[in-house]
Chains A and B, each alone.
Chain A
């Protein structure tokens, strides 16, 4: 299961030249608005015809200007979840869900009942979309796309129109989708928090081309990407396993570089998860700190230091097998005389890791 995109297209004043390969899992297309994210996803769906290039699904070309090929949308077998849901208002939820069934070449991998169960919409089947909440509509839209038995799921900012409570309601479903189905997902978003939780691969778009692409942990912890991601959102994503729940309201997790204590989570011990640690939540110390309120101290080795636009410096560290980012001031970096290769202690406050930054891995 893979997607290959290599297209050129003129979009207003912007010349797009975008080329990347998405393996299985969730591939996030990240970038500010106007960087061509939606153009790419529409080109994959066949809703937009790029000026030139090639698009392959599972090694089968669906668009190729050299051989004058452009498979029409309805034959591409892509499941598209739009930002605005786009449910058919005159059909019931059940009819919406089964709309694509008659065109699916084989029986859906999951039945209507299973998908409704997975998305928590079993009780809505006989209702009309008009009476559903935004979050419910979006879950139905995801189910509808899934049941058309697509080769790939395309999601264009599926959570952008929802408030944060609704987002929190849908994110776990998307994680389940990623972990329990083998359908690759191309996920367009400008929210780093969403991407940190969902993405296995990240493609960063900037100025009409791909600035960086690779595994999510690498791209998100790349100090060179801090400008594109935004200083406030910069941070590393670490795979973690839940070890145990303590009775003082903390959950212990193990990461490759040590252990972390986080506010209590309702996931069972042994569960694989991922933790996002924002660069501005990390304090660095030369010596092992004593008498400090922070519980999480990981030892790490400095890989690189990178100056920001302001007074800040981004420090990239190797911590076990993972990478960690810290944002400190230039002054501190100078006083501490930080150099690549130095051994350092990274201090993280437990409560600074919000619950939304912890997701199923």
Chain B
């Protein structure tokens, strides 16, 4: 197996898994919070928040990537603040690839979480409150377990989206081998050089296998979670 993939190809695969994992992890808490707010709370600007969350889904990825570069680049408002205060650089680093993938995957995660939260009967949360449970405890012990299938589905969807993210990533963090060259970027790069078709094809096969494996795993986990809830 290790002979089958060259070092550059291994590097691209490992980086992709690494970036997607952190992108999913990063968007999960924000996703749960925003999905809960959209599902349960009435507040001014709810529609605007909803549009903002979904924006990366409909904007050309290059545009998202360029906007990221403008705000999170070294000269950008947030980017320069991050560097001055924490010494953190996002542009052209793997951390930037995580941010780009997280933002691109965010709408998918929020959609799936929001549907799951809307399916939880608020009456159950009321019942928990009458038993003396404070709001956060109700969320952790009642809401969260009940949305687990949706949370798993959303996370896998986000992970798969992060694995496939290309446009925003290459615009924001470029295509540096070992640093920001994820699977799609690597496939693209191999296709640009003569004789790279073999490597590209191998990475295509890897992409398909990873995507299918993730989907199957999520199906299995979600089924188990549903059984746990409905089980007698």
Contact = CB atoms under 8 A, between A and B. Distances in A.
Considering the complex of A and B, which 5 residue pairs feature the smallest CB-CB distances, nearest first?
A: A131-B232, A103-B132, A100-B131, A80-B130, A86-B127
Contact of A127 (B130, B138, B232): B232
Nearest to B138: A74
A89 B230 contact: yes
Given A47-B126, A84-B123, A89 B131 contact: no
Contact of B232 (A79, A130, A144): A130
B145 A77 contact: no
Contact of B126 (A73, A75, A89, A99): A73
A104 B132 contact: yes
A238 interface: no
Contacts of B232: 127-128, 130-132
B146 A73 contact: no
Contacts of A198: none
Contacts of A148: 130-132
Given A74-B133, A88-B142, A128-B230, 10 more contacts: A45-B130, A73-B126, A76-B130, A80-B130, A89-B146, A90-B146, A100-B131, A127-B232, A145-B131, A148-B131
B195 interface: no
Q: Which bracket fits the contact residues of B?
A: 20 to 34
B7 interface: no
Interface of B: 121, 123-124, 126-135, 138, 141-142, 145-146, 228-232
A221 to B, nearest CB: 34
Interface string A86-99: 10111000000001
- Overall SS of chain B's interface: helix
A82 interface: yes
18 contacts: A46-B129, A47-B126, A79-B131, A82-B123, A86-B121, A86-B124, A88-B142, A90-B145, A90-B228, A99-B131, A99-B141, A100-B131, A103-B133, A128-B231, A128-B232, A130-B232, A145-B131, A148-B131
Given A99-B128, A130-B230, A86 B134 contact: no
B230 A80 contact: no
Contacts of B129: 46-47, 72-74
Interface string A103-142: 1100000000000000000000001101110000000000
A78 interface: yes
A90 B229 contact: yes
B127 to A, nearest CB: 4
Contacts of A145: 130-131
Interface of A: 45-47, 72-80, 82, 84, 86, 88-90, 99-100, 103-104, 127-128, 130-132, 144-145, 148, 154
B132 A74 contact: yes
Contacts of A82: 123, 127
B229 to A, nearest CB: 5
Nearest to A85: B127
B123 A100 contact: no
Contacts of A131: 232
A148 B130 CA distance: 9
A269 to B, nearest CB: 41
Given A73-B126, A86-B123, A88-B128, A130 B231 contact: yes
B144 to A, nearest CB: 10
A76 B145 CA distance: 25
Contacts of A72: 129
Contacts of A127: 232
A141 to B, nearest CB: 8
A151 to B, nearest CB: 11
A314 B130 CA distance: 43
A73 B129 CA distance: 6
A46 B131 CA distance: 12
B130 A78 contact: yes
A160 B227 CA distance: 30
Contact of B132 (A86, A100, A128): A100
